[in-house]
Structure 1
Amino acid sequence: MGQVTVRVGGYSHPVSCEDGQEAHLVSLAAEVDRRVHSVRSMGGQFGENRLLLLAALLLADEVHDLRIELSAARAGQPTADNPVLAERLTRVAERIEGIAAGLQRP
Structure 2
Amino acid sequence: MGQVTVRIGGYSHPVSCEDGQEGHLVALAAEVDRRVHSVRSMGGSFGESRLLLLASLLLADEVHDLRVELSQARAGIAPADNPQMAERLTRVAERIEGIAAQLEAP
TM range (shorter): 0.7 to 0.9
Q: 1:72 to 1:36 in 2, by over 3 A?
A: same
Aligned length: 87
User: Which residue of structure 2 lines up, in the alignment, with residue 14 of structure 1?
Assistant: 14
1:39 aligns with 2:39: yes
Separation in structure 1 between the aligned mates of residue 6 and residue 17 of structure 2, nearest angstrom: 12
- Shift of the alpha carbon at 1:12? 0.5
1:87 Cα shift? Answer: 3.6
In the alignment, the residues of structure 1 paired with residue 74 and residue 10 of structure 2 have an alpha-carbon distance, to the nearest angstrom, of 40
Task: Name which one, 1 or 2, has greater alpha-carbon Rg.
Answer: 1
Query: Partners of 2:55 and 2:24 in 1: how far apart?
Result: 19
1:1-35 per-residue CA deviation (whole Å, 9 max, x = no partner) reads: 00000000001100000000000000000000000
Per the alignment, residue 61 of structure 1 pairs with 61
What corresponds to 1:96 in structure 2?
none
Q: 1:74: which partner in 2?
A: 74
Q: Which runs of 5+ in 1 are unaligned?
A: 91-106
Runs of 4+ in 1 over 4 A off after TM superposition: none
What SS does the aligned partner of 1:78 have?
coil
Q: Report the alpha carbon displacement of residue 78 of structure 1 after superposing the two structures with TM.
A: 1.2
Q: TM-score, normalised by structure 1?
A: 0.77
Task: Output the TM-score relative to the length of structure 2.
Answer: 0.77
Aligned amino acid, residue 14 of structure 1? P
| Runs of at least 5 residues in structure 2 that lack an aligned partner in the other structure | 88-106
Structure 1's 76 and 25: CA in aligned 2 closer, same or farther, altered over 3 A?
same
C-alpha distance in 1, partners of 2:86/2:40?
36
Q: Would the alpha carbon gap of residues 9 and 88 (structure 1) be closer, same or farther in structure 2, given more than 3 Å must change?
A: closer
